[in-house]
Amino acid sequence: MKIPQALIDSLQNVKGFHEEAFIKIHEQSESPTSIRLNPFKPIQKWGISQENTTDEGVSQVPWCEKGRYLATRPKFTFDPLFHAGAYYVQEASSMFLETALKQTVDLTKDLKVLDLCAAPGGKSTLINSLLTPESLLISNEVIRSRANILADNLTRWGTMNTVVTNNDPKDFARLTGFFDVLVIDAPCSGSGLFRKDPEAINEWSLDNVTMCSLRQKRIIGDVWASLKEGGTLIYSTCSYSEAENEDIVKWICEEFGAKNLTLDIANFQINTDLENTKAQSSLRFYPDQIKGEGFFIAAFKKLNSEKETFIRSGKPIKNNSRRTEREIFRTWVNGIDNFTWFEKNDDYFLINPDHEHIIKLLQSNLYLRKAGIRMGKIAGKDLIPDHELALSLYLSENIARRELSREQAISYLRRDDFTLEQAQKGWSLMTYEDHGLGWAKILPNRINNYYPKELRILSRA
């Protein structure tokens, strides 16, 4: 792997950069494999003992409680637990977002969090794992096809307190002083991921770095008004270039009078030549110094005030048809009396009542790709359940379910025809190690596989 000389030259005086070690690690080693477990869908494998490692060579990512390094890279596509959302495959350095959030935000509070550049959903699933159920995560992605992937990954995570939007950053300026936390994992020149994606080397240039830097400023400027006074901004990239990192930090402080918050790395060995006990105003992760890829992160507090967007407290709609709907949903949803729902294009979405007025406000300002849990459509006196309900944490235990072997689960996820002995007729949740994979409808003479076509496994083992 040949690192562009112009990149090497540009990094000579940059904090923590060691040319020889940097070149060597890119030439001689592969990217470590890491995953992050879903705290809401616990599994047996990849648990960690007191000693922080297991017999299979699984070890803890130091800065992320549910982060694990794996000694070998499994074929994730052929693991039903991957499709069930029991874990997310994520590069380890970027999991530092967890520590950054824990150090700069009171996560016990109910928060409104915007993850602005969110697809495919690595940071969003991590943020969502750290929030209270009453908090709301708005995950945005400007590119439509990528917003769909983001929605799929949040569906797998199973929680209700998420909204996926598909908007340009400037659309958020309408929500002045609205968010408690803003996460901007900015599109960048990508030098930090050369080991994972060597093709990116061909696209790297100093001109592209300049272009990315200008775009990063534009994105931050577009959404700054949506952060409330006292709110926290976390900015990150997977680039090594100062123009996209420290220069942006300086620009945010100068342009908006923001306070650059320090990050305490006393417990982590991150940069070999920095005093690790010293709090840092920003952090650089280099693959020759930690087990992970190139990453940059900084945190800020907003000091200037913003007039908060007025939110009407929406009254729940009560009428007879809602009572009938509630009885239908009662069969399918655990604790339906604690929740509410709204209908759009005949689909019913399960939401936390505390979020009703916020979602209404978002609906009138943004394009919502997904909100809460899509339960499905009502047909007569029953529900045609949606895939999102199968993957959610709220499905009633009274719904028929069928545990599959690994081979059966793979057939199901491929949408192949398969048979089940002595299966109860009607809708049935297909599970693997007790985690929902999707729906099947058991008929007298066949099984209809309702796994979504666009999600099915295409490749052969």
Ligand X SMILES: C[S@@+](CC[C@H](N)C(=O)[O-])C[C@H]1O[C@@H](n2cnc3c(N)ncnc32)[C@H](O)[C@@H]1O
Show binding-site residues for S-adenosyl-L-methionine. 117-123, 141, 168, 185
CB of residue 103 vs ligand X: minimum separation in angstroms?
A: 19
Near ligand X by CB under 6 A: residue from 31, 33, 78, 120: 120
**Whole-angstrom Cα distance, residue 433 to residue 411?**
16
Q: Residues 362, 163: contact at Cβ < 8 Å?
A: yes
Near ligand X by CB under 6 A: residue from 98, 152, 185, 242: 185
Which CB atom, from 177 or from 221, has the smaller least distance to ligand X?
A: 221
**Whole-angstrom Cα distance, residue 178 to residue 229?**
9
Near ligand X by CB under 6 A: residue from 141, 242, 325, 386: 141
Which CB atom, from 18 or from 146, has the smaller least distance to ligand X?
A: 146
CB of residue 121 vs ligand X: minimum separation in angstroms?
A: 5
Tell which positions 202-221 bind ligand X, by CB under 6 A. Answer: 215, 219
How far is residue 229 from each of residues 58, 106, 110, 253, measured CA to CA in Å? Answer: 42, 15, 16, 14
Counting every residue, how long is the chain? Answer: 461
Bridge partners, residue 429, by sequence: 401, 439
Q: What is the DSSP letter of 366?
A: S
Question: Closest Cα partner for 387 from 156, 173, 197?
Answer: 156
Say if residue 120 is preceded by a cis peptide, omega within 30 of 0.
Answer: yes
CB of residue 247 vs ligand X: minimum separation in angstroms?
A: 18
142 binds ligand X (CB under 6 A): yes
Q: Which of the stretches 115-123, 240-248, 353-361, 421-429 binds ligand X when contact is defined by CB under 6 A?
A: 115-123
User: Catalytic residue at 64?
Assistant: no
158 binds ligand X (CB under 6 A): no
Q: What is the DSSP letter of 392?
A: S
The catalytic position among 188, 212, 238, 253 is 238
Q: In what order do the strands lie in the sheet with 426-432?
A: 401-403, 426-432, 435-442, 447-449
Near ligand X by CB under 6 A: residue from 36, 68, 112, 123: 123
Which CB atom, from 296 or from 341, has the smaller least distance to ligand X?
A: 296
The residue whose two tokens read 């978002």 is 362
**Whole-angstrom Cα distance, residue 17 to residue 22?**
7
Feature table: binding site: 117-123, 141, 168, 185
362 binds ligand X (CB under 6 A): no
Tokens of 303: 């000091």
Residues in contact with ligand X, counted by CB under 6 A, come to a total of: 16
Tell which positions 74-113 bind ligand X, by CB under 6 A. Answer: none
- Point out which residues bind ligand X (CB under 6 A): 117-123, 141-143, 146, 169, 185, 187, 215, 219
Catalytic residue numbers, as ranges = 238
